[in-house]
Chains A and B, each alone.
Chain A
Amino acid sequence: MKARKHLFWSFLLIAAFVLLGYFLVREHRPGAKYPFKFGLDLVGGTELVYKADTSKVQDIAGAMESLKGVIERRVNIFGVSEPIIQTESAGVISGNKDERLIVELPGVTDIEQAKTLIGQTPLLEFRLAKPNSAEILKANPQAGLDDLFTPTELTGRYLAKATVEFNQNTQVPLVGLEFNSEGADIFKKITGEHKGEALAIVLDGNVLSAPTIQDEIPNGKAQISGTFTVDQVKSLVNNLNYGALPVPISLSSSQTVGASLGDAALHSGVRAGIIGLIALAIFLILWYRLPGLVASVALVSYIILSLVVFALIPVTLTAAGLAGFILSIGMAVDANVLIFERTKEELKKGRSIREALHEGFSRAWLSIRDSNVSSIITALVLFWLGTAAVKGFALTLGLGVLISMFTAITVSRTFLFAIAPSEDSAFKKFLFSNGFHIK
């Protein structure tokens, strides 16, 4: 009876995987709804070059490094697409002191979105009001920011985080700012040396508020008050938390770029995957016989399922990602190897094939669970703390572990019990055992 149930599920699983395989073939054509997303190295993308205005900062290298970090965080809001972001400075000989930022994004579909997102990055500055600013304004009502305020070293670069706060008396929403330790020192110095002067908080060139400094502020915390609605405060806080620009930037050029590795790398990667899979299946069938064949089928289902997930999320496929995936094919078999080795031990103890399979699965489970949990922990930490390239790896690792647990355990279990004979014979036992020594 039970065998019939497993047989039913086996057919269902096979049908499901055939459908998913068909989905992959269909989605591989141009114009598909869920096409694979390939990285810069395989298909190229667009290069955006931003010009940074560093005329008002002293630590140019530090400001550029922080700019790079802010833009990287912005660009990765779309998910992990492994952009190339690097600073560019004009050669010394040209005498041109331009500082630029190169942002390369894979594919071309998201470019407008990327431009908008990068454009939304707030520019946060703190400026001291000039002592005679009131007179300047009276004399020239059109006086600009630079006429009325002098820039300070304190910029969005030193912002640690922004929070939504409320004034305790009036319940008016405020933006709370917290500086990192470096920023806190600068803030302390400014507030200590300029008591009684007005310190303006300037966002994207607009003075949000210009409170008078009452006393030295040592704890690195500031508030922006104004006539904000709660929604305005929330979106501002959100924007600031993705990072505020340390220096103003402007888009200076955008052009399409081709792949650094290109089709050849993609094809040889795919070929390596196919050859590896065939070699692996031959090994599995020779060593593990019938269960080895089942493991090979489970492996094909692992590949189909992973590729479907990669297309749906989508995961950006690079040469590195492809190589990592090929590695995961090898690792996905581990659970099956553990189960089959356990099954062999139980068969040697004289159990029937069905009993031995049962024991094999249940005894191998603990080691499969714990070793895979450790891999998932690794993937989670790397995803949580890593930069774009590390995140991409963590994502494929984590997905690979989860999917392989399903295919190597559930799928191969269903198939094995569907074909496991209810009566044993020496030949049947031979088919379900493995290795060289069989009694």
Chain B
Amino acid sequence: MFVVRYRKIFFALSFVLIALSLYGMFSYGFKESIDFKGGSITEIRYEGTRPDKAVVESQIKGLGFGGFSVRPSENDRYIIRTQELTDLDRTSLVNAISNNGADKVAVERSNTVGPIAGEELKSKAIKAIVVVVLMIVLFVTFAFRKVSEPVASWKYGLATVVALFHDVVIPTGVFVFLGHFKGIEIDLLFVTGLLAILGYSVHDTIVVFDRVRENLRVNRDIGKKEDFETTVGNSVHQTFGRSINTSLTIFITLLSLYLVGGPATKDFALLLIVGVIVGTYSSIFVASPLLVTFQQWQKSK
């Protein structure tokens, strides 16, 4: 199977993508939304009739403050969360909202707010991901314990985690670049999206590995001698249709979400689309050939 034979090309491609992503993360950094950074909270009361939320949103959008949220409160107010405002920003915000004084408004509060997702979320999320990775390695090692020949079962776990790293880093990298060039911000939804990719990545890798496991078992039972490389190649080939079709089904639903799901979840759908493509790619072109590489390192020792 060409996937296994030309694995170095695919490894190189993934390596370049990961390197680019890491470069983006370290040189551009994350463009964090007010979910993570906190900012200012401004409560506006209208003396006359309160305009539509969409009107207020377009007024604020024109100011170029980046991500913000507007929510109605009681019958005559809006609570507006924005990035940290300077005095000047605050004046222009009130000006914009009041149509330069045409609508009578009163500022009920104008304060600084902390992040919704602070350090606790970050540290907890990191801890949770570390535990997930450990549990996955343990589980895969256990599930593949009967096929420890020619590759030890924990190496299947290792390959799963390498693919996982690949699948989480590349979409993050894509969003770091989108943040730098297009101003897309990283918010709470982004974290949820990465977790979903994490789940999908492992799920998809295990399905392909399962076929390797089955073929190894069948070969052992019928006493067939076959190169590990050939077995892995055949397994990838046999699961190819399924891999493509499953990612296609997910792609269909995500595309629908991206196109008609509304602006709130558009970036989220895009992130997942990237994640599903990369996740499917890595199961076929990274995780499985990696098994062969592990086996050859073992042989050369």
Q: A: which residues have CB within 8 A of B?
A: 41, 44, 47, 64-65, 68-69, 72, 84-91, 93, 100, 102, 255-262, 264-265, 268-269, 271-273, 275-277, 279-280, 283-284, 287, 319-320, 322-324, 326-327, 329-331, 333-334, 337-338, 341, 345, 363, 366-367, 370-375, 377-379, 381-382, 384-387, 389-390, 393-394, 397, 435
Verify A280–B132 contact, CB threshold 8 A.
no
Q: Would you call B135 and A372 a contact (CB within 8 A)? A: no
Contact between B115 and A86, CB atoms less than 8 A apart? yes
Residues of A within 8 A of B53 (CB): 258, 262
**Does any Cβ of A come within 8 Å of B248's Cβ?**
yes
Tell me whether A333 and B249 are in contact (CB under 8 A).
yes
A326-B257, A374-B203, A382-B195 known; A272 and B262 CB under 8 Å?
A: yes
User: Which 10 residue pairs spanning A and B have beta carbons closest together?
Assistant: A268-B262, A258-B72, A330-B250, A276-B256, A367-B210, A272-B261, A87-B114, A276-B253, A330-B253, A385-B128
Take A371-B207, A378-B132, A385-B127 as given contacts and tell me if A341 and B242 are in contact as well, using a CB distance cutoff of 8 Å.
yes
Interface status of B184 (Cβ within 8 A of chain A): no
B252 within 8 A of A: yes
Known: A283-B249, A334-B246, A370-B210. A320 touches B254 (CB 8 A): no
Q: Which of A272, A345, A379 contacts B256 (CB 8 A)?
A: A272
B contact residues around A377 at 8 Å (CB)? 132, 135-136, 139
Q: How far is the CA of A389 from the CA of B128 in the complex (A)?
A: 13
Q: Which of B22-30, B91-99, B117-125, B287-295 faces chain A? A: B117-125
A-B contact pairs, 15 of them (CB 8 A): A69-B120, A72-B120, A87-B38, A89-B114, A100-B111, A276-B256, A320-B265, A327-B196, A334-B207, A334-B246, A337-B249, A338-B207, A374-B202, A377-B135, A386-B125
Contact B206 A370 (CB under 8 A): yes
**What is the bound-complex CA distance between A69 and B74, given in angstroms?**
27
Query: When the two chains form their complex, are residues A68 and B114 in contact, meaning their CB atoms are under 8 A apart?
Result: yes
Main secondary structure on B side of the interface with A: helix
Q: How far is the CA of A371 from the CA of B140 in the complex (A)?
A: 10
Q: Are A319 and B250 in contact (CB under 8 A)?
A: no
Given the known inter-chain contacts A341-B241, A370-B143, A378-B132, please indicate yes or no for A323 contacting B268, CB distance below 8 A: yes
CB neighbours (8 Å) of A393 from chain B are 192, 195-196
**Contacts A44-B72, A93-B87, A378-B199 hold; do A86 and B128 have CB atoms under 8 A apart?**
no
Shortest Cβ gap from B198 to chain A (Å): 7
B41 beta carbon closer than 8 Å to chain A: yes
Contact between A86 and B79, CB atoms less than 8 A apart: no
Residue of A nearest to B126 (CB): A385
Cβ 8 A contact of A320, one of B120, B189, B260: B189
- The residues of A that contact B131 with a CB separation of less than 8 Å are 381, 385
Assess whether B260 is in contact with A256, with CB atoms less than 8 Å apart. Answer: no
Q: Is B110 in contact with chain A by the CB < 8 A criterion?
A: yes
In the bound complex, residues from chain A placing their C-beta under 8 Å from that of B8 are none
B111 contacts A386, C-beta separation under 8 Å: no
B144 to chain A, nearest CB (A): 9
Q: Which residues of chain A come closer than 8 Å to B143, judged between CB atoms?
A: 370, 373
The distance in angstroms between the C-alpha atoms of A329 and B113, with both chains bound, is 37
Most chain A beta-carbon neighbours within 10 Å: one of B110, B117, B199:
B199
Collect the chain B residues with CB atoms within 8 Å of residue A256's CB.
73-74
Q: Which of A47, A257, A269, A280 contacts B252 (CB 8 A)?
A: A280
Q: Which residues of B contact A85 (CB under 8 A)?
A: 116
A396 to chain B, nearest CB (A): 10
In the docked arrangement, what's the CA distance between A382 and B188, Å?
A: 15
Q: Is the CB of A279 within 8 A of B252?
A: yes
CB pair A390 B253 closer than 8 Å? no
Is A367 a contact partner of B207 (Cβ separation < 8 A)? yes
Residues of B within 8 A of A93 (CB): 87
In the assembled complex, the Cα of A102 lies from the Cα of B139 at a distance in Å of 41
- Residues of chain A within 8 A of B149, CB atoms compared: none
Q: Are B72 and A326 in contact (CB under 8 A)?
A: no
Contacts of A371 in B (CB 8 A): 202-204, 206-207, 210
- Provide the bound-state CA to CA distance between A100 and B109, in Å: 12
Interface residues of B in 240-288 (CB under 8 A from A): 241-242, 245-246, 248-257, 259-262, 264-265, 268-269, 272
- Cross-chain contact of A327 among B38, B110, B117, B272 (Cβ < 8 A): B272
- The residues in B between 178 and 232 inclusive whose CB is less than 8 angstroms from any CB of A are 188-189, 191-192, 195-196, 198-200, 202-204, 206-207, 210-211, 213-214
CB distance from B82 to the nearest CB of A (A): 13
Q: CA separation between A257 and B79, bound complex, in Å?
A: 8
Q: Does B61 contact A (CB under 8 A)?
A: no
CA distance A331 to B199 in the complex (A): 11
Cβ of B234 within 8 Å of any chain A Cβ, yes or no, is no
A308-B53 Cα distance, complex, nearest whole Å: 32
Closest to B211 in A: A367
Minimal Cβ-Cβ distance residue in B for A270? B261
